Each structure stands twice: as C-alpha cells, then as structure tokens.
Amino acid sequence: MAVPKKKVSKSRRDKRRTHHRLALPTVVEDRDTGEFRRPHHIDLKTGMYRGRQVLVQREEEPEDEED
C-alpha cells in the first residue's frame, strides 16, 4: 500500500484544489427586454440576436376541452 513520506499541509492541499471549484455561467441583461441571457446566444423568448429576428415565434394553439 502506498504511504506518503510526509504530511501534506492544509495550505498546500487547498492550493492544489483551487481549480476544482464550479464555474458560474456568465449572464447578461438584454438591452431590449431586460431578461437575463447568455452572451452571444439567441434570446429564446423573443427570437432576437444582435437586433435581428432569427427565430420565428410559434403561435400556441388553444387546447380543445373535452367534456
């Protein structure tokens, strides 16, 4: 069984683990709608990207109510 020759100090161990943290995703506030979105991504609610309409919004069909 492998046994370390010397004890690794808490400081040295924690320095090694600094890169193990989770990265938070970057978000920006949209200028037009005020909604938060990822930078350089399409705003899925409006379908706009850089001031242009990229996605066509679908109209939702009303559901038939069966009694």
pLDDT (tens digit, 0 to 9) for every residue of the chain, 67 residues total?
Answer: 899 999 999 999 999 999 999 999 999 998 888 889 899 998 888 888 888 888 887 777 777 777 6
Q: What is the distance between the alpha carbons of residues 24 and 42, in angstroms, rounded to a whole number?
A: 19
Q: What is the distance between the alpha carbons of residues 32 and 8, in angstroms, rounded to a whole number?
A: 53
The domain total for the chain is 1
- Domain presence at residue 14: no
| Model pLDDT, residue 67 | 60
pTM (predicted TM-score): 0.52
- Domain presence at residue 51: yes
- Domain presence at residue 46: yes
Write out the two tokens for 38: 């990822």
- Domain presence at residue 7: no
**Which residue range(s) make up the domain with 41?**
26-57
- Domain presence at residue 65: no
- Domain presence at residue 37: yes
- The owner of tokens 């009303």 is 62
- Domain presence at residue 66: no
